[in-house]
Chains A and B, each alone.
Chain A
Amino acid sequence: MILPGTNKKCKLQVNPSLLFSSQNSFFIAWCFSQIKQDLSVASLIKIALNWLISPCKTFDMNCEVCELKELVVEQFEIREVLRCILHTIIFHRALGLVRPRDINCELFELTYVQCGVPEVEKEIEEKITEFISKISKHPNRRSHQVCLSFYETKDKQPAWFSSKTERVYWERWFINLQITNQRVNMKPNQTKVGFDPGEKLSSLEEKKLHRTALEASIRENLFQIIKFVNEKMDHLPHIPPNAEGISYPYEITILSSSESSLDMLKRMLQTGHQTTLS
């Protein structure tokens, strides 16, 4: 079988636990069985998480995944960075008629493109606000992830424990952010008056370096998006005719790596029901 989220084929060792009827159990049992294979635990957990964060228990056999390079950002840069990347991805996947809007970043020498659909802009702003409020509640956590997923809805046989429609995710984008606070290096009792001019200059230089590096990283991310979009096209579902604006439904979810992935999986197994990581 082809592992979900990758193109890697592997053998499936049948385990008695596969007799469990729920898809959850099937998948988790399969995961444990695959630990014997050459796949690392981390990649397995990642695959499991990819699957588990979906509200519907579905195998995404043909889901393409793109992990963007990690960006080191300061608190106040988060909004601009996320806007840039989320809008760029959605612009590439809004294959209906769009009227592109060029947006010049305020913090960086960058221009990105929005698809020009007001609902998209509104939703992205709301999600970014949600993300910022979540990370502010956990200041000790540094790495955060935002997942942008595109899916299809399919009807399925209704059962007493599941819904009528299911979402089949065909593409996931993971935006990795590391939140940094440059003022960590400063002494807590330092005030503006007491600044050593030399130290102030060095902190200004550090800020400039950080800004330049971040701008280069964002550019790299954007080139990575272009490359991915150009290389993988076969998995795209059919575009309905006369589509305008957004042609594929999408969702934005927020992940954080506060607890280890194994702990999270364990928790899910114990609770026995789907919990979203956000």
Chain B
Amino acid sequence: MASTQNSETPATEQVITEIFAKSLHIILESRSPYVSSRNYSLDQIPPSPSSSGGSPSTQPGGSRDKWFNLALRECPAALQNSDFWRQSNLEPLVIEILLVDRVSGTEKLLERWVVQYETRKHPGTGRKSKRTYRGATLLFRSLYLLVRLLPAYTLFREMNSSGRIRSLGLSHRIQSFVNPLTRSEEAEMAHLCLTPIDTPFGRLKHSVSYLSVVDDISIGSELSTPMSTELIPDYVGSPTTDPLKRFQTLPLGGSAPICVQPGRRHSWSTDRLGSLNLSPCSLPTHSDPQRPSIPLPLSEVQKGKRPVGCYPSSLSSPQKANLFRCESAPVSRDSERNQLVRFGELPSGVSLPKEISIGGDAIRYLDVAKLPLASGSCVGGSNVQLLDLHEDSDANYPFASDDNRTKNYEGERSLAAIVGELLRMLETAPKLQIGFEKSDGPDQNPNPAHSGSRTAANALEELRSYMHMRDSILSQSGSHSLEPKPEKESNSKGSNSEKEMKERNRP
């Protein structure tokens, strides 16, 4: 047992030792993230045999928990360091709580707790050891509350509440000497002293220097892994990384090619939208004057938290297709029609999305979910995260087939081959001109004089070929039961689309 150099009685010495231990326990329990909480049953604490109430039992593993009538759960951090200061009770116990930046390795001192035993100048005027124990009991009630009132506890709670790995962390350092604070630290730190516990020949002092303002550390922005929305040109499955999937980038706006890759599940599929290209839509930060602003990373978004001003995606919906889009870029039917892009001739047996619109502040993809290709494949696997453009009832998508999406992973390889062939055809196919213009515009009739323009009839023929391709794919995939429905749907929608195109071309 650690001893003082004066004539404290053994009982008092033990009390002093336990005061140090309990102080360490209380402080580290509320400052060491992830190691403080543990399912510890306190219901079976045996009655303490001694008369001073709450003194330790002889049972192993529970000997310190009930000291000073404050039953605490185990704290591994405290147990690891409990023998550190047992050299002598005359040495101070200094516990420094640090905010550590794991990326840069820098540390910032948040708190410094000092527990120090001082011998009394005039011995004999001190208290009896029973009074010492009672004084310690009272002090630890206050200490237990005090550690929860200081600003560092907020950080501790935040770190404990989320299981994410953060760039900032709480750490502690235990010393037996007091480093003088720098001037800047001295200036920004507040100081508190608890009433000393009197012993017969000395007294124990508890004091803390703490950073009174923690908000300016920008907890929210730094605690999480910084992830701002940015273009990822070499994402898995992109044409740059996978030559098989190379296809012509679309001429209008945007720089994000569509990845159509059936039969392969990517790490950025259904569950994690993190690497999905969302730019140039930047998510607005959610600011709160009370708490630091949190630039919401995609990882936050994918967990269902909603950034202000952005619509969240239904990440797991296999049927719907929603994508983040910013308020600044409202979707309108007219803008979609202005930017329609058609593909060239395709061989039979392959179908393509009808509309792809890119522009404004949002990258919008067609609901590939409605493609037969999308069954078991495509961007995000079976759950494609695309903007839902089908809110209007008059949306006509001849290839739309919700039934096929999530079903039928058979014949993926054949599908992949077909899609690859389709893409090669697209590369070699002649370009389409933007055929659909504003409804109020005068130029409704496609002019044959325009270079590369096509008539509605040509478009209709292409459409029919797409339908054939789709049917062939369907037949190959073997979804016999579904064929009648999609055929019916496609037929009806095909006819609707034909009517629509005729209407559009009328003057």
Q: List the interface of chain A (C-beta within 8 A of B).
A: 88, 91-92, 95-100, 102, 104, 109-113, 208, 212, 219, 222-223, 226, 229-231, 233, 236, 239, 241-243
Report Cα–Cα, A60/B137, bound state, in Å.
26
Binds A, one of B114-122, B143-151, B491-499: B143-151
What is the 8 Å Cβ interface bit string for chain B, positions 188-219, against chain A (1 contact, 0 not)? 00000011000000000000000000000000
Contact B148 A112 (CB under 8 A): yes
Could you tell me the distance in whole angstroms from the C-beta of A219 to the nearest C-beta in chain B?
Answer: 6
B191 to chain A minimum Cβ distance, whole angstroms, is 13
Interchain nearest-CB distance for B304 vs A (Å): 21
Q: In the complex, A112 Cα to B145 Cα: how many Å?
A: 7
Q: How far is the CA of A98 from the CA of B51 in the complex (A)?
A: 17
Chain B: interface residue count, which band?
Answer: 20 to 34
- Say which residue of A95, A109, A236 sits within 8 Å of B154 (CB atoms): A109
- Supposing A111-B157, A208-B290, A219-B149 touch, asked if A96 and B53 sit within 8 A by C-beta, the answer is yes
Q: Evaluate contact between B145 and A98: CB separation under 8 angstroms.
A: no
A91, A112, A239: the one within 8 Å of B141 (CB): A91
B139 at the A/B interface (Cβ < 8 Å)? Answer: yes
Residue of A111, A113, A230 touching B138 (CB-CB under 8 A): A230
CB contacts (< 8 Å) of B34 on chain A: these are none
Is the CB–CB distance between B142 and A97 below 8 Å?
Answer: no
Per the bound structure, the CA–CA distance linking A247 and B443 in Å amounts to: 91
A96 partner, pick from B69, B142, B154, beta carbons under 8 A: B69
Kindly list chain B residues whose C-beta atoms are within 8 Å of the C-beta of A111. Answer: 148-149, 153, 157
A-B pairs with beta carbons under 8 Å apart, 8 shown = A95-B134, A95-B137, A97-B48, A100-B70, A102-B148, A226-B142, A229-B138, A233-B138
Q: A100-B144, A230-B138, A233-B138 known; A223 and B52 CB under 8 Å? A: no
* Residue with the greatest number of chain A CB neighbours at <10 A, chosen from B71, B134, B142: B142
A208–B153 Cα gap in the complex (Å)? 22
B289 within 8 A of A: yes
Asked if B138 contacts A92 (CB within 8 A), the reply is yes
- Contact assessment for A98 and B53 in the assembled complex, using a CB-CB cutoff below 8 Å: no
4 nearest A-B residue pairs (beta carbon): A230-B195, A111-B148, A99-B71, A97-B69
Q: How far is the CA of A14 from the CA of B230 in the complex (A)?
A: 87
With CB as the reference atom, state the residue of chain B lying closest to A218.
B149
Nearest CB to that of B52 among chain A residues? A241
A contact residues around B138 at 8 Å (CB): 92, 95, 229-230, 233, 236
Q: Is the CB of A91 within 8 A of B145?
A: yes
- The answer to whether B157 and A229 touch across the interface, beta carbons within 8 angstroms, is no
A242 and B139 form a contact (CB under 8 A): no
Q: For residue A88, which residues in chain B have a CB less than 8 angstroms away from its CB?
A: 145
**A236 nearest CB across to chain B (Å):** 8
Given the known interface contacts A229-B138, A230-B138, A231-B195, the answer about A113 and B144 at a Cβ–Cβ threshold of 8 Å is yes
Q: Which residues of B contact A97 (CB under 8 A)?
A: 45, 48, 53-54, 66, 69, 71
B163 within 8 A of A: no
How many whole Å from A129's CB to the nearest CB in chain B? 25
| B contact residues around A242 at 8 Å (CB) | 47-48, 51, 53
The smallest beta-carbon distance between A128 and chain B, in angstroms, is: 20
Q: Which residues of A contact B45 (CB under 8 A)?
A: 97, 99
Query: In the complex, A243→B134 CA distance in Å?
Result: 13
Given contacts A208-B289, A219-B149, A223-B149, contact A239 B53 (CB under 8 A): yes
Q: Is B135 an interface residue (CB 8 A)?
A: yes
Nearest-CB residue, chain B, relative to A115: B141
Nearest residue (CB) in B for A241 is B51
Q: Note all chain B residues with C-beta closer than 8 A to A233.
A: 134-135, 138, 195
Q: Which residues of A contact B48 (CB under 8 A)?
A: 97, 242
